[in-house]
């Protein structure tokens, strides 16, 4: 077989090995072998004629560009590509941790509650009987004031003073009332009388 066919055969084998590199994990070893075959084919092509060598260089470069385009388009869909590449994030729910506390925070938006501590600008509030770390949206809030949850920032709720229909904290749901500031008679607890006496 003369050098003309050897040069074309070496370049063809190099391209096949380069294509095989996409589907067989060899840590780049097949890429090195493909490079050796391609260079050897081009060198042999130049020994035959200058025009054959230039033609093989152009064909090799076009094949590499085509292979790169195939790699970008097809390789992520191969079993190896799926294992190596990360799958795209479709929504924030795919990456955010899921917990009962985060669900409770988001359910609290729009609810009324009571400030358990003075908020300058952060503190503790009780909404639906659950304690939350909260940030005041603007004005300071005194302990025992009615609040409304307006937003969520990270793992905290954002509250603002509530001046709506709640004129007295006793108007809030029982779970949101400050139990320690209420008279014992309002709590429905029997007195501490001695049952034997």
Poorest-confidence range of 7-16, 20-29, 90-99?
90-99
User: Has residue 190 got a pLDDT over 90?
Assistant: no
CA distance 152 to 107: 10
User: Has residue 186 got a pLDDT over 50?
Assistant: yes
| Pair of tokens at residue 156 | 């905290």
pLDDT of residue 96: 60
Q: Which residues contact 163 (CB under 8 A, 6 or more apart)?
A: 146
CA distance 31 to 17: 7
pLDDT of residue 171: 47
Residue 167's pLDDT band, with cuts at 50, 70 and 90, is very low
- The C-alpha angle 104, 108, 111, rounded to 5 degrees, equals 155
Q: What is the mean pLDDT of residues 47-70?
A: 89
Q: In this structure, are strands 112-115 and 122-127 parallel, antiparallel, or unpaired?
A: antiparallel
Residue 76's pLDDT band, with cuts at 50, 70 and 90, is confident
Residue 55's pLDDT band, with cuts at 50, 70 and 90, is very high
Q: Which residues contact 27 (CB under 8 A, 6 or more apart)?
A: none
CA distance 78 to 80: 5
User: Has residue 126 got a pLDDT over 50?
Assistant: yes
**Residue ranges per structural domain of the chain:** 3-84, 100-177
Q: Which CATH class is domain 100-177?
A: mainly beta
Poorest-confidence range of 42-46, 53-57, 80-84, 135-139?
80-84
CA 96 to chain centre: 6
Mean pLDDT for the chain overall: 78
Provide the 3-class DSSP secondary structure of residue 54: helix
């Amino acid at each position: 077989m003369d050098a003309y066919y050897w040069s074309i055969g070496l370049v063809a084998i190099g391209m096949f090995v380069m294509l095989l590199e996409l589907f067989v994990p060899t840590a780049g070893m097949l890429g090195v072998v493909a490079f050796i075959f391609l260079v050897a084919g081009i060198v042999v092509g130049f020994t035959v004629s200058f025009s054959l060598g230039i033609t093989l260089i152009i064909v090799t470069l076009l094949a590499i560009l085509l292979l790169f385009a195939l790699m970008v388009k097809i390789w992520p869909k191969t079993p190896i590509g799926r294992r190596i590449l990360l799958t795209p994030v479709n929504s924030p729910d795919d990456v955010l941790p899921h917990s009962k506390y985060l669900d409770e925070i988001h359910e609290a938006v729009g609810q009324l509650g009571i400030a358990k501590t003075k908020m300058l600008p952060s503190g503790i509030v009780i909404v639906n009987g659950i304690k939350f770390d909260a940030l005041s949206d603007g004005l300071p809030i005194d302990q025992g004031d009615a609040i409304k949850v307006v937003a969520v920032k990270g793992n905290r709720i954002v509250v603002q003073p509530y001046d709506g229909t709640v004129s007295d904290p006793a108007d809030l749901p029982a779970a949101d009332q400050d139990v320690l500031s209420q008279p014992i008679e309002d709590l429905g607890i029997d007195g501490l009388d001695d049952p034997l006496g």
